[in-house]
Structure 1
């Protein structure tokens, strides 16, 4: 499974990478720390699952998710990695897990 991580906090990003490696069978093919970098990096990759932080320095993970869903022929599964429960309903609108 090919995964891409979008998380602006380095410690959180490293922890997620470590947890995914422990699971096994997951190839982390890229990572980004901002909305702009994520959208630029994601467009040319085949991704199975996208791990998205909600709050990014230049936008939101919800904005990234919407663009990915609208522009990719086969969008990846989207998993939001956040401590902000108030975004849950909005996340489900973009078919997030």
Structure 2
């Protein structure tokens, strides 16, 4: 029997913004609860399938995130952090 790690309760994310030709950057720290993916998707008003298509991941990936079997990592964390703050960003992309 395989031992599975328990999913973390939240993800910690750092997003860095910089403007072209500028030396300054802004960093934003955020945390996404593991159940937050479903809430982000619902705020955007999208089905799992439409949300997956809009952010460029498979439907299975979104389902795994929402059910806590997997946690988003890397660029997906950053994108979800942005979407948590601006749910309409999906429509703008």
Q: TM-score range by the shorter chain?
A: under 0.3
Query: TM-score by structure 1 length?
Result: 0.26
Structure whose CA Rg is larger? 2
Q: Which has the higher strand share?
A: 1
Query: TM-score by structure 2 length?
Result: 0.27
